[in-house]
Amino acid sequence: MAMPRQAKAPLGNTLVGGLALTLALTGCGSGDDEDGGGIQSELDVPPPPEVEADPDLADMVPEDYREQGTLTVGADSSYAPGEFLDADGETVIGYNVELFDAVAAKLDLDTEWQESTFGTIIEGVDSGKYDVGSSSFTINEDRMEQVTMVSYYVVGTQWFTAAGNPENVDPDNACGMSIAVQRDTIQVPDLETRSEQCEDDGDPAIDIQQYERQDQATEAIMSGKNDAGLADMPVALYAVERTDGQLETLGEQYEAAPYGVLVNPEETELAEAIAAGYQSIMDDGTYEEILGNWELSDQGTLDTSEVNPDVSEFEDAETDE
C-alpha cells in the first residue's frame, strides 16, 4: 500500500446500517420480504432445526439457572454471518446464534440475546451482566485468564481488500499501509506485531485503523479510506460474497483456533453443561445441519466441545481455506 492516508470523518449510523443491509442482502434472494422472513429468508438460509430438551443435560444446569429459565447472551451484532441484526433492527441472528440457541434448547433453557460492544462482553460476563457471551471469540490464554471458554468451531484470520487490489497490498509486507480492523479482536495484536517488525527493519509502521464495529471497518475498505483489512475468515468471505464484487480476499486464512462461548469462571457447572450441550448437537447432526445451512460445514468443524481447551495444537496450524 501507499503511505497512510489522512483520517476521514467517523462513519455515521446511517452509513453503517446501510452497509449491514448490503452485507446481508446484496446478490441474494429476491429482495421481496412479503413473507416476513427477514434477512435470513433473503439469504436463502433455511430456518434452524427444531431441538428438543434432553432431561439428562437439563439436570446438569445449576439450579438458579434452571429456575431462571433463560440465559442472557452478550453479542456484538456487527459480525455477519456469526452475529448480526435481522431486518427488524433488533433480533440477533447468525450461525453462532443458532448453534448456541440449539445448545440452550438441549438444556431446556431459552436465550435472550443482548447487543453489546465486542470489547465489553468479557467484562459483562465477569460482572454478571450477561450469563454468557457468544460473539465469535477466539480462544486464547489471555482470555482464559479472565473467563471460562467452551469450544465449538475453528476459525482463522483472513485478509481482504478492494476488488483488484488497487494498492497492491501484500499481507506479508504491509509496512506503511492503512489497515482496517475491529477494536479488541485478536487481529489487533497481529497487526501490532507486523508493524513493529516493519519499524525494526527500517520501514514505515502500519497505520492500524481500529473501528468499534466490523461493518465500519469493512465500509472503510470499500470506500477507499483504508487499503485493506483483516477479520475472521467467515466474516471476510461473507463480506466479499455480499458486496457485489467490491471486495476480494488476499491469500489464505492463517492461525486457526477454536471459537469459545464465554462463561463466568465461578460458574463451572454451567460451563460443563454448555459443553455437554454442544457435544450433543455435534453427535446428533444438529451442529452440522446448522453450519451447512450457512455453507460452513466443510471447514472449521469440531468433533468435541471442551471447557478451556488446550489451544497450543492450533498455534501453528494452517488451513486449506
CB 278 within 8 A of CB 177: no
CB 307 within 8 A of CB 275: yes
Which residues, 6 or more positions from 316, have their beta carbon under 8 angstroms from its beta carbon?
none
Task: Cell numbers for 319, please give them.
Answer: 488451513
For residues 81 and 196, membership in a common domain is answered with no
Return the pLDDT at 39: 83
For residues 106 and 246, membership in a common domain is answered with no
How far apart, in whole angstroms, are the C-alpha atoms of residue 213 and residue 219?
10
pLDDT of residue 158 exceeding 50: yes
- State pLDDT tens for residues 254-304: 999 999 999 999 999 999 999 999 999 999 999 999 999 999 998 899 999
How many distinct structural domains can be found in the chain?
2
pTM of the model: 0.85
Strand partners, 72: 112
How far apart, in whole angstroms, are the C-alpha atoms of residue 30 and residue 51?
29
At 186, the amino acid letter reads: I
Residue numbers of the domain that contains 282: 42-155+257-296
Per-residue confidence at 319, pLDDT binned at 50, 70, 90?
very low
DSSP 44: T
Confirm whether 102 is domain-assigned. Answer: yes
For residues 167 and 230, membership in a common domain is answered with yes
How far apart, in whole angstroms, are the C-alpha atoms of residue 271 and residue 154?
19
Percentage of residues in the chain having pLDDT higher than 90:
81
Which residues, 6 or more positions from 90, have their beta carbon under 8 angstroms from its beta carbon?
none
For residues 53 and 199, membership in a common domain is answered with no
For residues 126 and 264, membership in a common domain is answered with yes
pLDDT of residue 252 exceeding 60: yes
Per-residue confidence at 17, pLDDT binned at 50, 70, 90?
very low
Within 10 angstroms of residue 318's Cβ, the number of other Cβ atoms is 10
Per-residue confidence at 25, pLDDT binned at 50, 70, 90?
very low
Per-residue confidence at 37, pLDDT binned at 50, 70, 90?
low
Return the pLDDT at 119: 94
